[in-house]
Amino acid sequence: MSEIHELSAIELRRLIGARKLSPVELMRHCLERIERLNPLLVAFCDMRPEQALREARAAEEAVMRGDELGPLHGLPIGIKDMNDVAGLATTYGSHLYKTNVPPEDEFIVARLKRQGAIVAGKTNIPELGFGATSSNPLWGTTCNPHDVRYTSAGSSGGTAVALAAGLVPLAMGSDFAGSLRTPASFNGITGIRPSAGTVANERRAFGFSPFNVEGPMGREAKDARLLLAAMASQESFDPLSFARDPKWDGTARPVDLSRLMVAVSEDLGFAPVDNGVRRDFRAKLARFGDCFRTIGDACPDLATVDRVLAAMRSLEFVHDFKEIYDRDKSALAPNVQFEVERGLKVGIGEVAWAIGEHSRIHRRSQAFFEDWDLLVTPAASVSPFLHEAEWPKEINGQKMANYLRWEAIAYGVTLMGNPAVVIPCGKGSDGLPFGIQIVGRLHHDAFLADAAVTLEALFEQDDELRRPRPDFGRIEEQARSLGHNERNP
């Protein structure tokens, strides 16, 4: 049998149910691996090892009694440091919240626990959840396990690294403008941004906004699909929530790729994309594009996305942070100060236009999918970059207006409203992980996840496309030589 940390969550759950792997053995393995590698990678921040082991023992006893077991029974999971777990600090990577220890689990955490998942700890994020890298003054800088000199991206960077490094088999993230999709691409794993309402969300300050969604991440697409099935539910507290797709029951269904009409776009018609990424994307497509019935260059009209996002994003920042800004703006991260100050300058006329134009973008996008089954793009506009860069200041010589502009290939899809999955697609020409983004029809999340599982299985047969695996001996040696711990609190 492969090393425990190399096994998929699906396989680990099968072994637990067959009494061939103890949840205690699995949890100990994960905790030992976290203790050894986390000082190098900073994937996890606050931990709960004693309680996790107690819950693993209870899970083992349930197996031995022959109890009915949930779909995630005994599987360790990482929870992003923006979601409440009873007894663990929810710090948002900020000294403002370092003593914020909630007494109860929030809904999605409680739901995953009820289905058998065991929380190992919280995964690292950028300060207050906003930034191109998962670095903050409280916990430090999360590093890419494929090369610790490079960023994990953000804001679900800790989650992505925890999976890529084999620290836990499952972990959840969230996505506004690419917050789980970009880290998935940079670290060589899978991340799913569901249709808004697939996963009931009680954390959205604006309940009717489709922007911020909770989503699953997994080393493999089938694991992310498993976690999304566990997360999906209809709940009255979320006005966008809708009935769970019955196709989530059971395992992934193979998709006949030869029947699919697939559109491809290097840049969604408006996003800055590095020329090297464009070349790599075309090279990857040349290796797998002929598996579809039809493949053609096309995308919805997204020309106004940047202006719409600037206005609508500002509303949320002013709502969430203006009180702190007025009291002491220096307490906020520079990115957040920038967003609040920009938001305060936006007039009501611009906001009204943006809300109306967002509806028009959404409708054009849904009309687009009347002709196409899937849309495939690069997952990120640039390759993973060095920590010192903070964020890509320019692409192909074009200066980026702010820390977010380089993620346009992701946030364009956010404004469309459609579900999207990022899966690994080998390595780029720079030797670092390369991902593709696959966008599906609205509310057809189960089909999209099944298509991702099918494609990933196809990619595993090709040395140039299969999921890249980190060299852990190399990253430990790298981290020591770079004095990694000097960069962290």
Query: Which residues are marked as active site?
Result: 80, 155, 179
Residue that has been written with the tokens 């236009």 in this structure: 353
Q: How far from each other are the two terminal CA atoms of the chain, in whole angstroms? A: 38
Q: Which helix (H) or strand (E) holds 412?
A: helix 408-416
Phi, psi of 370, deg, nearest 5: -75, -25
Question: Are 272 and 410 within 8 A, CB to CB?
Answer: no
Query: Treating both helix axes as pointing N-terminal to C-terminal, what angle do 305-328 and 334-344 enclose, rounded to 10 degrees?
Result: 110
Cβ–Cβ under 8 Å, residues 386 and 147:
no
Rounded-to-integer distance, Cα 367 and Cα 347, Å: 31
Residues 6+ apart with CB under 8 A from 407: 132, 177, 178, 182, 380, 381
Element (H, E) at 389: none
How many other C-beta atoms are found inside a 10 Å radius of the C-beta of residue 472? 17
| DSSP secondary structure of 150-184 | BB--SSSHHHHHHHHTTS-SEEEEEESSSTTHHHH
CA atoms 116, 118, 123, 128: torsion sign: positive
Hunting for tokens 């936006």 — which residue is that? 346
HSE toward the beta carbon, residue 329, CA cutoff 13 A: 13
Query: How far apart, in whole angstroms, are the C-alpha atoms of residue 443 and residue 231?
Result: 15
Q: Look at strands 394-395 and 374-378 and give their pairing.
A: unpaired
List the one residue out of 24, 29, 27 whose CA is nearest residue 3: 29
Q: Is the peptide bond before 155 cis (omega within 30 degrees of 0)?
A: yes
Tokens 């009820």, located at residue:
114
**DSSP code, position 94:** S
Query: Locate tokens 């409440």: which residue?
Result: 84
In a 10 Å sphere around its CB, with 0-12 CB exposed, 13-18 middle and 19+ buried, how is residue 461 labelled? Answer: exposed
Q: Which residues contact 465 (CB under 8 A, 6 or more apart)?
A: 284, 287, 288, 425, 426, 458, 459
187 phi-psi bin (left φ>0, alpha ψ -120 to 50, beta other): alpha
Count of residues for the chain? Answer: 489
